[in-house]
Amino acid sequence: MSAGAAPAGMRALPFTLVLIAIAAVIFLCGRWLGSSYAFFMGYVVLQYVVLGTAWNILGGYTGYVNFGVTAFFAIGAYSTVVLHKLVPATPLPVMMLIGGALAGLVGLGTGYLTLRLRGVFFSIATLALAVVVQTLITNWDFVGGARGVYVLRPRVAPLIGGEYVQYLFLMMLIMTVIVLVTARAIERSALGYGFAAIRDDEGAAEASGVPTLRLKLIATTLSGGFMGMAGAPLPYYVTYLDPASGFSLNYAVNAIAMPLIGGTSSWLGPVIGAVLVGGLQETLRVTISSAVNVLVAGVLMVAFVILAPQGIVGLFQRKRR
């Protein structure tokens, strides 16, 4: 947010176009490669770019820590399960919008109840929120309860043809562009300055005319909504979803670790964090074991918050000065 934080000034429209162009190149490269493994892996990394950026809109910009990432993510995923069972013909983008809207509403509600208090109470409430949403879903037989649910993945991707995973990847790619453009637009708008003021000193922000409660609610709603949207395609990706995997702590740790590792002050931080940590995890999963790869995010996060609190982006900024 500080004058030097954002990379060379670019207007919003050119930035969006460049991002779309990059996304298109990535997608076409994937098509050319034709490897479904690349699409599966790319989906996971993009999903974390979205989750990390969504977390950062609240955590990095306003300083309010949301530990309940899994709650919002799973609300998105399970709303898709419900839609899949009730109206199987619903197009995936619509499912994502509905999942996002539901998760956003839950974010708004949680924020409304706890954001008048000190920030830690919000964090504690979100931790507990993850447990309660999990409890509700575990007890809800319609979506499979504790046993879990199978969701049949369509064979062929609509519109673009090819394997369905390509479609999932494309959706997540579009989602990524939307989230990054939003995050960057916030950084440069009055909203972003308001968020930063809240993060630094809420009392002084109020005294400067910042409607702190309203801004915090905007941030929780946006952040929660994006997490829900990121979770919506999950059932089609995994094809079997149960509460234990849908609420895996990995999602929360990754979503928090990636911005903190990459740097919380700019939109670029979560992207760097997600690509780096996501890539590293995938490599470790293939080469060593899946148990070790989940440790990586946690250990890196603790190391970074202690040793490099400004993240990777911060390291480069310091060098430039």
Q: 182-185 — which CB contacts under 8 Å span 24+ positions?
A: 182/57, 182/222, 182/226, 183/53, 183/56, 183/57, 183/267, 183/270, 184/6, 184/12, 184/15, 184/267, 185/12
Q: Which is nearer to other proteins, 85 or 214 (CB)?
A: 214
Q: Which is nearer to other proteins, 41 or 136 (CB)?
A: 136
Shortest Å distance, C-beta 204 to other proteins? 4
Find the binding residues for other proteins in span 179-198 (CB under 8 A).
190, 193-194, 196-197
Does 295 engage in binding with other proteins (CB under 8 A)? yes
The interface mask with other proteins, positions 236-275, x = CB under 8 A, is -------------x--xx--xx--x---xx----------
| CA 36 vs CA 68, 78, 164, 169, 285: distances in Å | 31, 25, 10, 10, 17
Find the binding residues for other proteins in span 5-44 (CB under 8 A).
none
Shortest Å distance, C-beta 70 to other proteins? 10
Shortest Å distance, C-beta 302 to other proteins? 4
Does 312 engage in binding with other proteins (CB under 8 A)? no
Q: How many residues belong to the chain?
A: 321
Does 74 engage in binding with other proteins (CB under 8 A)? no
Shortest Å distance, C-beta 133 to other proteins? 9
The residue among 169, 219, 213 whose CA lies nearest residue 189 is 219
Which residue stretch of 39-47, 80-88, 279-287, 301-309 sits at the interface with other proteins (rule: CB under 8 A)? 301-309
- C-alpha to C-alpha distance for 270 and 5, rounded to whole angstroms: 14
Using DSSP's 3-state secondary structure scheme, residue 163 falls into strand
Residue 138 is which amino acid?
T
Does 309 engage in binding with other proteins (CB under 8 A)? yes
- C-alpha to C-alpha distance for 44 and 178, rounded to whole angstroms: 17
Residue 149: phi and psi, rounded to 5, are -140, 145
Using DSSP's 3-state secondary structure scheme, residue 156 falls into strand
Q: How many CA atoms lie within 13 A of 19 on its CB side?
A: 22
Residue 34: phi and psi, rounded to 5, are 65, 20
Find the binding residues for other proteins in span 99-138 (CB under 8 A).
113-114, 117, 119-121, 123-125, 127-129, 131-132, 134-136, 138
Does 97 engage in binding with other proteins (CB under 8 A)? no
Q: Which is nearer to other proteins, 1 or 95 (CB)?
A: 1
Shortest Å distance, C-beta 53 to other proteins? 16
Contacting residue, 24, 146, 156, 288, with other proteins by CB under 8 A: 146
Element (H, E) at 241: strand 240-241
Contacting residues for 293 by C-beta, under 8 A, at least 6 apart: 280, 281, 282, 284, 285
Q: Which residues form the interface with other proteins (CB under 8 A)?
A: 1-3, 59-60, 63, 65, 67, 113-114, 117, 119-121, 123-125, 127-129, 131-132, 134-136, 138-139, 146, 190, 193-194, 196-197, 199-201, 203-212, 249, 252-253, 256-257, 260, 264-265, 291-292, 294-295, 297-299, 301-302, 305-306, 309
